[in-house]
Structure 1
Protein backbone atom coordinates (compact mmCIF):
# COMPACT_ATOMS: atom_id res chain seq x y z
CA UNK A 1 0.00 0.00 0.00
CA UNK A 2 2.73 2.49 0.99
CA UNK A 3 4.86 1.71 -2.10
CA UNK A 4 1.78 2.09 -4.33
CA UNK A 5 0.89 5.47 -2.85
CA UNK A 6 4.49 6.71 -3.06
CA UNK A 7 4.67 5.66 -6.71
CA UNK A 8 1.48 7.55 -7.55
CA UNK A 9 2.75 10.67 -5.82
CA UNK A 10 6.09 10.48 -7.63
CA UNK A 11 4.90 9.74 -11.18
CA UNK A 12 3.09 13.05 -11.58
CA UNK A 13 6.31 14.97 -10.90
CA UNK A 14 8.44 12.80 -13.19
CA UNK A 15 6.02 12.92 -16.12
CA UNK A 16 5.39 16.72 -16.02
CA UNK A 17 8.26 18.58 -14.31
CA UNK A 18 6.85 22.07 -14.83
CA UNK A 19 3.53 21.36 -13.21
CA UNK A 20 4.50 18.25 -11.26
CA UNK A 21 4.18 19.77 -7.81
CA UNK A 22 0.64 21.04 -8.37
CA UNK A 23 -0.43 17.75 -9.89
CA UNK A 24 1.17 15.86 -7.01
CA UNK A 25 -0.79 17.88 -4.46
CA UNK A 26 -4.01 17.42 -6.41
CA UNK A 27 -3.37 13.67 -6.67
CA UNK A 28 -2.63 13.43 -2.94
CA UNK A 29 -5.81 15.33 -2.06
CA UNK A 30 -7.88 13.07 -4.33
CA UNK A 31 -6.42 9.95 -2.74
CA UNK A 32 -6.90 11.24 0.79
CA UNK A 33 -10.54 12.09 -0.01
CA UNK A 34 -11.08 8.56 -1.35
CA UNK A 35 -9.37 6.96 1.66
CA UNK A 36 -11.44 9.01 4.12
CA UNK A 37 -14.65 8.21 2.23
CA UNK A 38 -13.82 4.49 2.48
CA UNK A 39 -12.83 4.73 6.13
CA UNK A 40 -9.40 3.27 5.30
CA UNK A 41 -7.28 4.55 8.19
CA UNK A 42 -4.17 2.67 7.04
CA UNK A 43 -4.30 4.38 3.63
CA UNK A 44 -4.94 7.77 5.28
CA UNK A 45 -1.80 7.37 7.42
CA UNK A 46 0.31 6.26 4.43
CA UNK A 47 -0.78 9.18 2.24
CA UNK A 48 -0.21 11.67 5.05
CA UNK A 49 3.32 10.33 5.55
CA UNK A 50 4.40 10.78 1.94
CA UNK A 51 2.36 13.80 0.83
CA UNK A 52 3.86 17.20 1.68
CA UNK A 53 0.70 19.27 1.63
CA UNK A 54 -0.98 21.55 4.15
CA UNK A 55 -4.36 20.69 2.64
CA UNK A 56 -3.76 16.95 3.10
CA UNK A 57 -2.53 17.50 6.67
CA UNK A 58 -5.64 19.50 7.51
CA UNK A 59 -7.91 16.79 6.10
CA UNK A 60 -6.08 14.07 8.02
CA UNK A 61 -6.29 16.04 11.29
CA UNK A 62 -10.01 16.62 10.78
CA UNK A 63 -10.53 12.92 9.98
CA UNK A 64 -8.64 11.80 13.12
CA UNK A 65 -10.52 14.29 15.26
CA UNK A 66 -13.83 12.99 13.91
CA UNK A 67 -12.81 9.39 14.65
CA UNK A 68 -11.77 10.32 18.19
CA UNK A 69 -15.07 12.12 18.78
CA UNK A 70 -17.08 9.14 17.52
CA UNK A 71 -15.09 6.73 19.69
CA UNK A 72 -15.56 8.93 22.76
CA UNK A 73 -19.31 9.12 22.08
CA UNK A 74 -19.54 5.31 21.72
CA UNK A 75 -17.63 4.78 24.97
CA UNK A 76 -19.86 7.27 26.79
CA UNK A 77 -22.98 5.57 25.41
CA UNK A 78 -21.78 2.12 26.54
CA UNK A 79 -20.84 3.42 29.99
CA UNK A 80 -24.20 5.12 30.52
CA UNK A 81 -26.37 2.32 29.12
CA UNK A 82 -28.53 0.27 31.48
CA UNK A 83 -27.92 -3.42 32.06
CA UNK A 84 -30.45 -4.51 29.44
CA UNK A 85 -29.13 -2.16 26.72
CA UNK A 86 -26.36 -2.49 24.12
CA UNK A 87 -26.12 -6.27 24.06
CA UNK A 88 -24.67 -7.82 20.92
CA UNK A 89 -24.52 -11.49 20.02
CA UNK A 90 -25.08 -14.49 17.83
CA UNK A 91 -27.56 -17.32 17.52
CA UNK A 92 -26.50 -20.85 16.62
CA UNK A 93 -28.57 -23.65 15.07
CA UNK A 94 -27.61 -27.01 13.61
CA UNK A 95 -27.15 -30.71 14.28
CA UNK A 96 -25.02 -32.83 16.61
CA UNK A 97 -23.78 -36.38 16.91
CA UNK A 98 -22.90 -37.69 20.36
CA UNK A 99 -20.83 -40.58 21.65
CA UNK A 100 -20.28 -42.03 25.12
CA UNK A 101 -23.33 -42.47 27.33
CA UNK A 102 -25.60 -42.01 24.29
CA UNK A 103 -24.93 -42.43 20.57
CA UNK A 104 -27.41 -40.27 18.72
CA UNK A 105 -27.98 -37.49 16.20
CA UNK A 106 -30.17 -34.53 17.10
CA UNK A 107 -30.71 -30.77 17.07
CA UNK A 108 -28.45 -28.22 18.75
CA UNK A 109 -29.23 -24.55 19.39
CA UNK A 110 -27.51 -21.80 21.28
CA UNK A 111 -27.07 -18.09 21.85
CA UNK A 112 -24.11 -15.93 22.87
CA UNK A 113 -24.49 -12.33 24.08
CA UNK A 114 -21.90 -9.76 25.10
CA UNK A 115 -22.13 -6.30 26.59
CA UNK A 116 -19.05 -4.15 27.12
CA UNK A 117 -18.22 -0.78 28.63
CA UNK A 118 -14.94 0.86 29.58
CA UNK A 119 -14.63 -1.14 32.81
CA UNK A 120 -17.23 -3.91 32.55
CA UNK A 121 -17.81 -6.83 30.22
CA UNK A 122 -20.76 -9.23 30.51
CA UNK A 123 -20.98 -12.56 28.69
CA UNK A 124 -24.11 -14.72 28.47
CA UNK A 125 -23.97 -18.16 26.82
CA UNK A 126 -26.64 -20.83 26.40
CA UNK A 127 -26.42 -24.12 24.48
CA UNK A 128 -28.79 -27.09 24.28
CA UNK A 129 -28.81 -30.48 22.52
CA UNK A 130 -32.07 -32.39 22.13
CA UNK A 131 -33.35 -35.55 20.44
CA UNK A 132 -36.41 -37.79 20.62
CA UNK A 133 -36.55 -41.31 19.15
CA UNK A 134 -39.71 -43.44 18.98
CA UNK A 135 -41.47 -41.16 21.44
CA UNK A 136 -38.66 -41.21 24.00
CA UNK A 137 -36.10 -38.53 24.80
CA UNK A 138 -32.68 -39.95 23.95
CA UNK A 139 -30.66 -36.77 24.44
CA UNK A 140 -31.34 -33.75 26.65
CA UNK A 141 -28.39 -31.59 27.59
CA UNK A 142 -28.13 -27.88 28.29
CA UNK A 143 -25.88 -25.27 29.87
CA UNK A 144 -26.52 -21.58 30.68
CA UNK A 145 -23.73 -19.26 31.85
CA UNK A 146 -23.52 -15.62 32.93
CA UNK A 147 -20.04 -14.18 33.43
CA UNK A 148 -19.40 -10.56 34.48
CA UNK A 149 -15.84 -9.21 34.11
CA UNK A 150 -14.35 -6.12 35.75
CA UNK A 151 -11.42 -4.86 33.67
CA UNK A 152 -8.44 -3.44 35.56
CA UNK A 153 -6.69 -2.74 32.25
CA UNK A 154 -6.57 -4.14 28.71
CA UNK A 155 -5.28 -7.52 29.94
CA UNK A 156 -6.11 -8.12 33.62
CA UNK A 157 -9.67 -8.62 34.84
CA UNK A 158 -11.68 -10.08 37.71
CA UNK A 159 -14.51 -12.44 36.83
CA UNK A 160 -17.61 -13.89 38.38
CA UNK A 161 -19.43 -16.95 37.10
CA UNK A 162 -22.97 -18.29 37.51
CA UNK A 163 -23.73 -21.51 35.64
CA UNK A 164 -26.57 -24.00 35.33
CA UNK A 165 -26.16 -27.42 33.66
CA UNK A 166 -28.53 -30.29 32.93
CA UNK A 167 -27.47 -33.65 31.49
CA UNK A 168 -29.57 -36.61 32.64
CA UNK A 169 -27.59 -39.01 30.49
CA UNK A 170 -24.40 -38.00 32.30
CA UNK A 171 -26.05 -38.64 35.63
CA UNK A 172 -27.29 -35.27 36.93
CA UNK A 173 -30.64 -33.54 36.57
CA UNK A 174 -29.10 -30.18 37.50
CA UNK A 175 -25.75 -28.76 38.49
CA UNK A 176 -25.22 -25.22 39.78
CA UNK A 177 -21.85 -23.47 39.83
CA UNK A 178 -20.74 -20.22 41.47
CA UNK A 179 -17.19 -19.05 40.89
CA UNK A 180 -14.94 -16.01 40.78
CA UNK A 181 -11.29 -15.15 40.37
CA UNK A 182 -8.80 -13.43 38.08
CA UNK A 183 -8.24 -13.62 34.35
CA UNK A 184 -5.39 -12.40 32.15
CA UNK A 185 -5.00 -11.96 28.38
CA UNK A 186 -1.61 -13.49 27.59
CA UNK A 187 -1.90 -12.63 23.89
CA UNK A 188 -4.13 -9.82 22.66
CA UNK A 189 -3.68 -8.98 18.96
CA UNK A 190 -6.05 -8.67 16.02
CA UNK A 191 -4.94 -12.10 14.72
CA UNK A 192 -4.64 -14.02 17.98
CA UNK A 193 -6.02 -13.96 21.52
CA UNK A 194 -5.08 -16.19 24.43
CA UNK A 195 -6.46 -15.74 27.92
CA UNK A 196 -6.44 -17.77 31.11
CA UNK A 197 -8.48 -17.51 34.29
CA UNK A 198 -8.63 -19.32 37.61
CA UNK A 199 -10.36 -19.18 40.97
CA UNK A 200 -12.34 -21.12 43.57
CA UNK A 201 -15.79 -22.50 42.78
CA UNK A 202 -18.80 -23.96 44.59
CA UNK A 203 -20.85 -26.65 42.83
CA UNK A 204 -24.13 -28.26 43.83
CA UNK A 205 -25.15 -31.39 41.91
CA UNK A 206 -28.60 -33.01 41.93
CA UNK A 207 -28.27 -36.64 40.82
CA UNK A 208 -30.75 -38.40 38.54
CA UNK A 209 -30.97 -41.39 40.87
CA UNK A 210 -31.75 -39.17 43.84
CA UNK A 211 -29.66 -37.26 46.33
CA UNK A 212 -27.35 -34.31 45.86
CA UNK A 213 -23.94 -33.10 46.89
CA UNK A 214 -22.15 -29.79 47.31
CA UNK A 215 -18.42 -29.37 46.79
CA UNK A 216 -15.76 -26.67 46.83
CA UNK A 217 -13.70 -26.88 43.65
CA UNK A 218 -10.90 -25.11 41.84
CA UNK A 219 -11.67 -23.66 38.40
CA UNK A 220 -9.06 -23.18 35.67
CA UNK A 221 -9.86 -22.24 32.06
CA UNK A 222 -8.01 -21.27 28.89
CA UNK A 223 -9.57 -19.65 25.80
CA UNK A 224 -7.65 -19.39 22.52
CA UNK A 225 -8.70 -17.75 19.23
CA UNK A 226 -6.67 -17.60 16.03
CA UNK A 227 -7.77 -15.64 12.96
CA UNK A 228 -6.23 -17.86 10.30
CA UNK A 229 -7.50 -15.62 7.48
CA UNK A 230 -10.14 -12.88 7.09
CA UNK A 231 -12.76 -15.64 6.69
CA UNK A 232 -11.42 -18.50 8.86
CA UNK A 233 -11.11 -18.57 12.67
CA UNK A 234 -10.04 -21.40 14.97
CA UNK A 235 -11.09 -21.55 18.64
CA UNK A 236 -9.95 -23.81 21.46
CA UNK A 237 -11.56 -23.62 24.90
CA UNK A 238 -10.42 -25.73 27.86
CA UNK A 239 -11.85 -25.80 31.39
CA UNK A 240 -11.42 -27.90 34.52
CA UNK A 241 -13.30 -28.11 37.81
CA UNK A 242 -11.10 -30.03 40.23
CA UNK A 243 -12.74 -31.25 43.44
CA UNK A 244 -13.00 -34.22 45.75
CA UNK A 245 -15.36 -36.96 44.63
CA UNK A 246 -15.76 -35.98 40.99
CA UNK A 247 -13.82 -33.55 38.80
CA UNK A 248 -15.01 -32.25 35.43
CA UNK A 249 -12.91 -31.52 32.35
CA UNK A 250 -14.13 -29.95 29.12
CA UNK A 251 -12.54 -29.32 25.72
CA UNK A 252 -14.20 -27.51 22.81
CA UNK A 253 -12.46 -27.14 19.43
CA UNK A 254 -14.16 -25.14 16.67
CA UNK A 255 -13.43 -24.05 13.10
CA UNK A 256 -15.48 -21.09 11.87
CA UNK A 257 -15.88 -20.04 8.22
CA UNK A 258 -17.41 -16.63 7.55
CA UNK A 259 -20.07 -16.82 4.82
CA UNK A 260 -21.26 -13.21 5.00
CA UNK A 261 -21.36 -10.16 7.24
CA UNK A 262 -23.65 -11.89 9.74
CA UNK A 263 -23.51 -15.55 8.77
CA UNK A 264 -20.86 -18.10 9.79
CA UNK A 265 -20.58 -21.86 9.34
CA UNK A 266 -19.11 -23.78 12.27
CA UNK A 267 -17.74 -27.27 12.81
CA UNK A 268 -16.97 -28.14 16.45
CA UNK A 269 -15.90 -31.09 18.56
CA UNK A 270 -16.51 -31.21 22.32
CA UNK A 271 -15.24 -33.64 24.94
CA UNK A 272 -16.80 -33.80 28.45
CA UNK A 273 -15.07 -35.96 31.05
CA UNK A 274 -16.25 -36.75 34.58
CA UNK A 275 -13.69 -38.57 36.73
CA UNK A 276 -16.30 -40.32 38.91
CA UNK A 277 -19.78 -40.40 37.33
CA UNK A 278 -22.70 -42.35 38.85
CA UNK A 279 -22.42 -46.13 38.60
CA UNK A 280 -23.05 -47.59 35.16
CA UNK A 281 -22.25 -44.42 33.22
CA UNK A 282 -19.32 -43.70 30.92
CA UNK A 283 -16.75 -41.16 32.06
CA UNK A 284 -16.43 -39.43 28.69
CA UNK A 285 -19.02 -37.98 26.31
CA UNK A 286 -18.20 -36.49 22.90
CA UNK A 287 -20.20 -34.15 20.67
CA UNK A 288 -19.62 -33.32 17.01
CA UNK A 289 -21.65 -30.32 15.82
CA UNK A 290 -22.27 -28.66 12.46
CA UNK A 291 -24.07 -25.34 12.87
CA UNK A 292 -24.83 -21.99 11.31
CA UNK A 293 -24.22 -18.86 13.38
CA UNK A 294 -26.33 -15.74 12.83
CA UNK A 295 -25.10 -12.36 14.07
CA UNK A 296 -27.47 -9.75 15.49
Structure 2
Protein backbone atom coordinates (compact mmCIF):
# COMPACT_ATOMS: atom_id res chain seq x y z
CA UNK A 1 0.00 0.00 0.00
CA UNK A 2 2.76 2.45 0.92
CA UNK A 3 4.59 1.58 -2.29
CA UNK A 4 1.66 2.38 -4.59
CA UNK A 5 0.88 5.61 -2.74
CA UNK A 6 4.50 6.69 -3.12
CA UNK A 7 4.50 5.92 -6.84
CA UNK A 8 1.19 7.76 -7.31
CA UNK A 9 2.51 10.80 -5.46
CA UNK A 10 5.66 10.94 -7.60
CA UNK A 11 3.67 10.62 -10.83
CA UNK A 12 1.17 13.31 -9.88
CA UNK A 13 3.86 15.70 -8.72
CA UNK A 14 6.18 15.19 -11.69
CA UNK A 15 4.54 17.66 -14.13
CA UNK A 16 4.75 20.46 -11.58
CA UNK A 17 8.30 19.62 -10.56
CA UNK A 18 9.41 19.56 -14.17
CA UNK A 19 7.56 22.83 -14.79
CA UNK A 20 9.70 24.55 -12.18
CA UNK A 21 12.99 23.41 -13.74
CA UNK A 22 12.27 23.34 -17.49
CA UNK A 23 12.65 26.09 -20.11
CA UNK A 24 9.15 26.78 -21.37
CA UNK A 25 7.94 28.21 -24.63
CA UNK A 26 6.51 31.64 -23.88
CA UNK A 27 2.71 31.66 -24.01
CA UNK A 28 -0.47 32.40 -22.14
CA UNK A 29 -1.66 30.08 -19.41
CA UNK A 30 -5.04 28.61 -20.38
CA UNK A 31 -7.58 26.58 -18.44
CA UNK A 32 -10.85 25.02 -19.64
CA UNK A 33 -13.19 22.27 -18.58
CA UNK A 34 -16.43 20.35 -18.94
CA UNK A 35 -18.89 19.34 -16.23
CA UNK A 36 -21.46 16.58 -16.81
CA UNK A 37 -24.48 15.46 -14.82
CA UNK A 38 -27.18 12.91 -15.50
CA UNK A 39 -29.81 11.45 -13.16
CA UNK A 40 -32.95 9.30 -13.21
CA UNK A 41 -35.53 8.70 -10.49
CA UNK A 42 -38.64 6.49 -10.51
CA UNK A 43 -41.13 5.99 -7.66
CA UNK A 44 -44.26 3.94 -7.12
CA UNK A 45 -44.33 0.27 -8.08
CA UNK A 46 -40.68 0.56 -9.10
CA UNK A 47 -38.20 2.60 -7.11
CA UNK A 48 -34.90 3.22 -8.84
CA UNK A 49 -32.38 6.03 -8.94
CA UNK A 50 -29.10 6.68 -10.71
CA UNK A 51 -26.62 9.54 -10.82
CA UNK A 52 -23.68 10.03 -13.19
CA UNK A 53 -21.27 12.95 -12.75
CA UNK A 54 -18.05 13.88 -14.50
CA UNK A 55 -15.59 16.78 -14.30
CA UNK A 56 -12.91 17.06 -16.97
CA UNK A 57 -10.41 19.94 -16.77
CA UNK A 58 -7.66 20.81 -19.24
CA UNK A 59 -4.74 23.15 -18.66
CA UNK A 60 -2.08 24.49 -21.04
CA UNK A 61 0.94 25.84 -19.24
CA UNK A 62 3.99 26.55 -21.38
CA UNK A 63 5.13 23.23 -22.89
CA UNK A 64 2.74 21.28 -20.64
CA UNK A 65 -0.77 20.12 -21.48
CA UNK A 66 -2.39 18.75 -18.31
CA UNK A 67 -5.67 16.91 -17.77
CA UNK A 68 -7.56 16.35 -14.50
CA UNK A 69 -10.52 13.97 -14.51
CA UNK A 70 -13.10 12.99 -11.87
CA UNK A 71 -16.01 10.59 -12.46
CA UNK A 72 -18.73 9.12 -10.26
CA UNK A 73 -21.55 6.64 -10.92
CA UNK A 74 -24.20 5.48 -8.44
CA UNK A 75 -27.28 3.31 -9.05
CA UNK A 76 -29.89 1.99 -6.65
CA UNK A 77 -32.82 -0.36 -7.29
CA UNK A 78 -35.51 -0.83 -4.63
CA UNK A 79 -33.12 0.13 -1.85
CA UNK A 80 -30.28 -2.07 -3.12
CA UNK A 81 -27.12 -0.53 -4.55
CA UNK A 82 -26.54 -2.06 -8.00
CA UNK A 83 -23.60 0.04 -9.22
CA UNK A 84 -21.04 2.28 -7.57
CA UNK A 85 -17.90 3.54 -9.24
CA UNK A 86 -15.53 6.43 -8.49
CA UNK A 87 -12.59 7.39 -10.68
CA UNK A 88 -9.86 10.04 -10.49
CA UNK A 89 -7.03 10.60 -12.94
CA UNK A 90 -4.33 13.08 -13.82
CA UNK A 91 -2.04 13.31 -16.85
CA UNK A 92 0.71 15.70 -17.89
CA UNK A 93 1.97 15.90 -21.50
CA UNK A 94 5.26 17.67 -22.19
CA UNK A 95 5.28 18.90 -25.80
CA UNK A 96 8.55 18.64 -27.74
CA UNK A 97 6.89 20.08 -30.84
CA UNK A 98 3.45 20.20 -32.46
CA UNK A 99 3.33 16.41 -32.95
CA UNK A 100 5.48 14.69 -30.31
CA UNK A 101 5.29 14.61 -26.52
CA UNK A 102 6.04 12.53 -23.47
CA UNK A 103 3.29 11.78 -21.00
CA UNK A 104 3.09 10.83 -17.35
CA UNK A 105 -0.22 9.66 -15.93
CA UNK A 106 -1.85 8.11 -12.88
CA UNK A 107 -5.39 7.06 -12.03
CA UNK A 108 -7.30 5.56 -9.10
CA UNK A 109 -10.61 3.70 -9.38
CA UNK A 110 -13.03 2.33 -6.78
CA UNK A 111 -15.55 -0.25 -8.03
CA UNK A 112 -16.61 -2.77 -5.35
CA UNK A 113 -18.69 -4.77 -7.85
CA UNK A 114 -15.49 -6.04 -9.52
CA UNK A 115 -14.32 -7.78 -6.32
CA UNK A 116 -11.58 -5.20 -5.69
CA UNK A 117 -11.57 -2.41 -3.12
CA UNK A 118 -9.64 -0.22 -5.56
CA UNK A 119 -7.28 -0.22 -8.54
CA UNK A 120 -4.41 2.18 -9.26
CA UNK A 121 -2.37 2.55 -12.46
CA UNK A 122 0.67 4.72 -13.20
CA UNK A 123 2.47 5.01 -16.54
CA UNK A 124 4.91 7.17 -18.50
CA UNK A 125 5.90 7.07 -22.16
CA UNK A 126 5.74 8.60 -25.63
CA UNK A 127 2.81 10.19 -27.44
CA UNK A 128 2.27 11.34 -31.03
CA UNK A 129 -0.44 13.51 -32.60
CA UNK A 130 -1.16 12.03 -36.02
CA UNK A 131 -3.92 14.51 -36.89
CA UNK A 132 -4.56 17.89 -35.31
CA UNK A 133 -6.66 19.92 -37.74
CA UNK A 134 -9.59 22.20 -37.11
CA UNK A 135 -12.25 19.47 -37.13
CA UNK A 136 -10.30 16.26 -36.47
CA UNK A 137 -7.84 15.04 -33.84
CA UNK A 138 -6.05 11.70 -33.50
CA UNK A 139 -3.30 10.81 -31.02
CA UNK A 140 -1.76 7.64 -29.61
CA UNK A 141 0.41 6.89 -26.56
CA UNK A 142 2.49 3.93 -25.47
CA UNK A 143 4.78 3.25 -22.54
CA UNK A 144 5.52 1.08 -19.51
CA UNK A 145 3.39 1.23 -16.39
CA UNK A 146 2.49 -0.39 -13.09
CA UNK A 147 -0.90 -1.61 -11.85
CA UNK A 148 -1.94 -2.39 -8.27
CA UNK A 149 -5.30 -3.93 -7.30
CA UNK A 150 -6.52 -4.42 -3.72
CA UNK A 151 -8.93 -7.33 -3.25
CA UNK A 152 -11.98 -6.91 -1.03
CA UNK A 153 -12.28 -8.97 2.17
CA UNK A 154 -14.45 -11.67 0.59
CA UNK A 155 -12.15 -12.29 -2.37
CA UNK A 156 -9.05 -12.03 -0.18
CA UNK A 157 -10.36 -14.75 2.14
CA UNK A 158 -11.33 -16.94 -0.82
CA UNK A 159 -8.04 -16.63 -2.71
CA UNK A 160 -5.63 -16.44 0.21
CA UNK A 161 -3.97 -13.13 -0.74
CA UNK A 162 -5.06 -9.52 -0.59
CA UNK A 163 -3.59 -7.77 -3.64
CA UNK A 164 -2.43 -8.17 -7.22
CA UNK A 165 0.23 -6.09 -8.95
CA UNK A 166 2.29 -6.23 -12.12
CA UNK A 167 4.28 -4.22 -14.63
CA UNK A 168 2.14 -3.43 -17.69
CA UNK A 169 2.40 -2.11 -21.22
CA UNK A 170 0.12 0.93 -21.39
CA UNK A 171 -1.47 2.25 -24.57
CA UNK A 172 -4.09 4.85 -25.41
CA UNK A 173 -5.79 6.19 -28.56
CA UNK A 174 -7.83 9.41 -28.58
CA UNK A 175 -9.96 10.46 -31.57
CA UNK A 176 -12.26 13.47 -32.06
CA UNK A 177 -14.27 14.49 -35.12
CA UNK A 178 -16.40 17.62 -35.26
CA UNK A 179 -19.42 17.13 -37.52
CA UNK A 180 -20.28 20.81 -37.25
CA UNK A 181 -19.77 23.78 -34.98
CA UNK A 182 -22.40 22.33 -32.61
CA UNK A 183 -21.74 18.56 -32.60
CA UNK A 184 -18.82 16.15 -32.36
CA UNK A 185 -17.91 12.48 -31.97
CA UNK A 186 -15.19 11.31 -29.57
CA UNK A 187 -13.58 7.90 -29.14
CA UNK A 188 -11.16 6.98 -26.36
CA UNK A 189 -9.48 3.61 -25.96
CA UNK A 190 -7.08 2.74 -23.11
CA UNK A 191 -5.45 -0.65 -22.49
CA UNK A 192 -3.04 -2.09 -19.92
CA UNK A 193 -1.42 -5.45 -20.63
CA UNK A 194 0.50 -7.34 -17.97
CA UNK A 195 -0.63 -10.43 -16.10
CA UNK A 196 -4.00 -9.71 -17.69
CA UNK A 197 -5.45 -7.46 -20.38
CA UNK A 198 -7.64 -4.62 -19.15
CA UNK A 199 -9.20 -2.10 -21.51
CA UNK A 200 -11.65 0.78 -21.50
CA UNK A 201 -13.47 2.20 -24.51
CA UNK A 202 -15.65 5.31 -24.48
CA UNK A 203 -17.65 6.37 -27.54
CA UNK A 204 -19.64 9.60 -27.29
CA UNK A 205 -21.65 12.05 -29.36
CA UNK A 206 -22.07 15.59 -28.05
CA UNK A 207 -24.54 18.13 -29.47
CA UNK A 208 -24.90 21.72 -28.31
CA UNK A 209 -28.30 22.80 -27.02
CA UNK A 210 -27.69 26.47 -26.37
CA UNK A 211 -24.55 28.44 -25.57
CA UNK A 212 -22.16 26.34 -23.46
CA UNK A 213 -24.85 23.75 -22.63
CA UNK A 214 -24.85 20.46 -24.56
CA UNK A 215 -26.35 16.98 -24.51
CA UNK A 216 -23.97 14.00 -24.45
CA UNK A 217 -24.72 10.37 -25.28
CA UNK A 218 -21.97 7.92 -24.33
CA UNK A 219 -21.33 4.18 -24.37
CA UNK A 220 -18.52 2.93 -22.11
CA UNK A 221 -17.16 -0.62 -22.26
CA UNK A 222 -14.72 -2.02 -19.69
CA UNK A 223 -12.98 -5.33 -20.37
CA UNK A 224 -10.82 -7.69 -18.31
CA UNK A 225 -9.77 -10.99 -19.88
CA UNK A 226 -9.08 -12.53 -16.46
CA UNK A 227 -11.91 -11.47 -14.12
CA UNK A 228 -12.41 -13.02 -10.71
CA UNK A 229 -14.29 -16.33 -10.83
CA UNK A 230 -17.77 -14.97 -10.13
CA UNK A 231 -17.41 -11.80 -12.24
CA UNK A 232 -18.06 -10.97 -15.90
CA UNK A 233 -15.30 -10.04 -18.35
CA UNK A 234 -17.19 -7.09 -19.82
CA UNK A 235 -19.06 -4.21 -18.19
CA UNK A 236 -21.05 -1.76 -20.31
CA UNK A 237 -22.47 1.60 -19.36
CA UNK A 238 -24.81 3.72 -21.49
CA UNK A 239 -25.79 7.19 -20.33
CA UNK A 240 -27.24 10.50 -21.41
CA UNK A 241 -25.96 13.59 -19.59
CA UNK A 242 -26.10 17.35 -19.73
CA UNK A 243 -22.69 18.90 -20.33
CA UNK A 244 -21.57 22.42 -19.50
CA UNK A 245 -18.32 23.76 -20.98
CA UNK A 246 -16.37 26.49 -19.20
TM-score, normalisation: structure 1? 0.67
Runs of 4+ in 1 over 6 A off after TM superposition: none
Residue 105 (structure 1) shift: 6.4
In the alignment, structure 1 residue 122 sits paired with structure 2 residue 66: yes
Which of 77, 88, 96 matches 1:144? 88
Measured in 2, the distance between the counterparts of 1:242 and 1:199 equals 11
8 Å CA contact 2:56–2:70 kept in 1: the answer is: yes
Partner of residue 243, structure 2 = 293
In structure 2, the CA distance between the partners of 1:232 and 1:77, relative to structure 1 (3 Å rule), is closer
Alignment of 1:28-177 (within 5 A): 76-78=27-29, 86-95=30-39, 106-177=50-121
Partner of residue 226, structure 1 = 177
In structure 2, the CA distance between the partners of 1:114 and 1:207, relative to structure 1 (3 Å rule), is same
Measured in 2, the distance between the counterparts of 1:161 and 1:105 equals 33
Instruction: Provide the aligned C-alpha RMSD in A.
Output: 1.6
Which of 233, 238, 263 matches 2:189? 238
SS in 2 for 1:228: strand
Deviations 1:67-89 (A, max 9, x none): xxxxxxxx6442xxxxxxx5321
Measured in 2, the distance between the counterparts of 1:268 and 1:105 equals 19
Which has the higher Rg, Structure 1 or Structure 2? 1
TM-score, normalisation: structure 2? 0.80
Gaps of 5+ in 2: 1-25, 41-47, 157-161
Partner of residue 250, structure 1 = 200
Deviations 1:130-156 (A, max 9, x none): 022333322111211100110001111
Measured in 2, the distance between the counterparts of 1:240 and 1:76 equals 33
Residue 186 (structure 1) shift: 0.4
Moved more, 133-142 or 164-173: 133-142
8 Å CA contact 1:179–1:201 kept in 2: the answer is: yes
Measured in 2, the distance between the counterparts of 1:108 and 1:239 equals 21
Residues matched between the structures, number: 207
Residue 225 (structure 1) shift: 0.2
Determine which structure has the larger strand proportion and give its number.
2
SS in 2 for 1:259: strand
Measured in 1, the distance between the counterparts of 2:39 and 2:103 equals 32
8 Å CA contact 2:49–2:77 kept in 1: the answer is: no
